[in-house]
Amino acid sequence: MEYKDFSEEINNKIESIKNRVLAGEISLLDIDLVPIFENIKDSLTIYNISKYSSTYISAFQLLSQKFEELKIFLSYLDNQDKFLKFLKSNPKDIEIYQLFEDCWRDPFIIDALSLKFLEYSKDRLVTEKPEPLKIEHLDKINLKETFLLEIPEKRFTDKMLAFFNVIKDKLPCSYEEIFENERDQIKIFENFVYLLHLLQLNKIKYEKNTNMLYL
């Protein structure tokens, strides 16, 4: 005898109801859950009882949620009748005040977010506009002859080779060791330019993986 398993179909139906309730499309009070439990009862056998256990739990959770909504709804109706009865009794102002007294909460105020501060900020943004940026051309200046980039080619080569003779006995060594004893930033920059040229001329080689300079 063949037994059909409808647990997946029932689970999909339960999940669809949950999603529609969460989306606000329907209320559980409008849904008849009896057919779901009848489907579980009619298709449940000793052969699929373990698989149907999770299906039954999901259906029961849906039923419990429906009972909670029903309790809230009945409570609302009861409170509504009580309130109408209270209003028909022509209550005094103090009685109405006492009824609603606990319904209100005093707002907290943060000065930095107060309405006064926000209005002040808005007025400043509207009225105080920064002056537009002015782009001015810089006047050309005459550079000193001793500046590094203004050194004549022959003099530059002599200084570069002199730097090479100073460091070649250190090689091989790391890049940082070349400048470790120099404190003058201008001198470090000048020697760095010499080092770049020596690398370009292939008089010194550089290994990226080890960060080592060598001949």
pLDDT tens-place string over residues 180-196: 877 777 888 888 888 88
Token pair for 75? 């409570």
Are 20 and 26 in contact, with CB atoms under 8 Å apart? yes
For residue 52, list its beta bridge partners.
Answer: none
Q: Do 92 and 11 share a structural domain?
A: yes
In a domain, 118, yes or no: no
Cα 32 from Cα 192, distance rounded (Å) = 84
Q: Which residues contact 14 (CB under 8 A, 6 or more apart)?
A: 36, 55, 58, 59, 62
Are 62 and 14 in contact, with CB atoms under 8 Å apart? yes
In a domain, 137, yes or no: no
Q: Do 169 and 89 share a structural domain?
A: no
The residue among 47, 50, 57, 55 whose CA lies nearest residue 7 is: 55
In a domain, 112, yes or no: no
Q: Do 93 and 24 share a structural domain?
A: yes
In a domain, 111, yes or no: no
What's the rounded mean pLDDT across residues 98-122? 67
**Of 36, 71, 101, at which residue does a domain stop?**
101
**Of 80, 101, 122, at which residue does a domain stop?**
101
Residue 84: pLDDT over 60 = yes
The residue among 19, 94, 86, 6 whose CA lies nearest residue 45 is: 6
Q: Do 160 and 90 share a structural domain?
A: no
| Amino acid 147: pLDDT | 46
The residue among 126, 18, 9, 190 whose CA lies nearest residue 178 is: 190
Q: What are the strands, taking DSSP E only, across the chain?
A: 173-174, 205-207, 212-214
Q: Using 50, 70 and 90 to split pLDDT, how confident is the model at 3?
A: low
Q: Do 71 and 12 share a structural domain?
A: yes
Token pair for 49? 């009882």
Q: Is the bond preceding 35 in cis, omega lying within 30 degrees of 0? A: no
- 66-76 burial, b if ≥16 CB within 10 A, otherwise e? beeeeeeeeee
In a domain, 113, yes or no: no
Q: Do 27 and 89 share a structural domain?
A: yes
Residue 1: pLDDT over 50 = no
In a domain, 95, yes or no: yes
pLDDT digits (tens, 9 = 90+) for 114-145: 677 777 777 777 665 667 767 776 565 555 54
> How many other CB atoms are there within 10 angstroms of residue 41's CB atom?
10
**Of 67, 101, 135, at which residue does a domain stop?**
101
Question: In which domain, by residue range, is 46 found?
Answer: 7-101
Q: Do 84 and 19 share a structural domain?
A: yes
In a domain, 17, yes or no: yes
Residue 158: pLDDT over 80 = yes
In a domain, 39, yes or no: yes
Number of domains in the chain: 2
